[in-house]
Amino acid sequence: MTNNPIAIFGEALIDQFPDGQQILGGAPFNVAWHLQAFKQRPCFISRVGRDASGDKISQAMRAWGMAVENLQTDSDHPTGTVQVTMNDGEPRYEILADQAYDFIADRLDRDRQFSVIYHGALALRNRVSEQALRDLTARHQGKVFIDVNLRAPWWHKESVNQWLGKAHWAKLNDDELRLLATPQNTLQDTMRLFLAQHELEVLVVTCGSRGAMAVNQAGEVLEVAPMADLTVIDTVGAGDAFTAVLLLGIQHDWPLQLAMERAQRFASAVVTQRGATVQDLRFYRPFICAWNLDAGKNKFVHERHEKHENI
């Protein structure tokens, strides 16, 4: 396990649900939230407005034990807000322009290093935050993980392809793959070509209730699927939960198959809860124990022990 932390770059916002409930969100925020619960102390780099929503996000982070020194405050732009609606069980998002997270600045110590820099695509729609990430990755010596998260109309294929070219790992869902990739005879062949075109080390594609697939540079395809008797309450944030555990796997040098299995298991647990994050540390405790995250050493439970984790 590397001693350098994971950096999470991107949006922190408020998801407003049809019933009036407000939930803290944004894919990078959700990923950082889970990693904090998994004892990783991520460096979360984002920006909120000088408003009640920004205060709510900052207070929640502090209460969760997250570091807030890289949560910037913007006096000119509001904290990001997203209207979430559900269509046939799938979330739809109405995303406003010129939110605080569009104006993230590069204020980090230039000598600070990270094991992985994670980012998505939404916070790169504005040249200010995009330039901040360019500067950050230009001096980065570790891996880059892009979690694509296409949100219409806030993405352009050329730009996304450029950022894919800078990444070592990429994760996206099967709909996003169809929008970005040249289709082949099978999903596996499409993934292999996409990985080769962008010179990725690993490509992960999530497929909703069908699970997820990964392909590596050797062309090997790995598949995982959720439990059959899963009681789904809310799929918002399932992909972010999956990503958080993939980042754990990179940080702890887990074999890819093991990381995929654990990511699917955790994502399956998260969809039984309301909202993209869980505010009870007891929810994480079985995973922390089963995955030996308390030990703080480069150890993992071998696959022959995985069947005894009972999560």
Q: What is the per-residue pLDDT across 4-34, written as a single tens digit (0 to 9) for each?
A: 999 999 999 998 878 888 889 999 999 999 9
Read off the CATH number of the domain in which 110 is found: 3.40.1190.20
**What is the pTM (predicted TM-score) of this model?**
0.91
HSE, CB side, 13 Å, CA atoms: give it for residue 96.
15
Strands (E), the chain: 6-9, 13-16, 22-25, 43-49, 71-74, 80-87, 90-95, 116-119, 143-147, 169-173, 202-206, 212-216, 221-224
The answer to the question of residue 180 being in a domain is yes
Which strands, in side-by-side order, build the sheet including 13-16? 22-25, 13-16, 80-87, 90-95
| 217 has pLDDT over 80 | yes
| 1 has pLDDT over 70 | no
The answer to the question of residue 309 being in a domain is no
The answer to the question of residue 33 being in a domain is yes
The answer to the question of residue 299 being in a domain is no
Residue-wise over 169-197: b if at least 16 C-beta within 10 A, else e?
A: bbbbbbebbeebbeeeeebeebbbebbee
The answer to the question of residue 218 being in a domain is yes
Distance CA 274, CA 294 (A): 27
Residues 6+ apart with CB under 8 A from 151: 93, 95, 121, 122
Which neighbouring-strand residues pair with 22? 16
Q: By residue range, what is the domain housing residue 118?
A: 6-293
The answer to the question of residue 301 being in a domain is no
R_g of the chain, CA atoms, integer Å: 18
Structurally, the chain folds into a number of domains equal to 1
pLDDT tens digits along 70-82 = 999 999 999 999 8
What percent of the chain shows pLDDT beyond 90? Answer: 77
The answer to the question of residue 305 being in a domain is no
Q: What is the mean pLDDT of residues 163-190?
A: 97
The answer to the question of residue 310 being in a domain is no
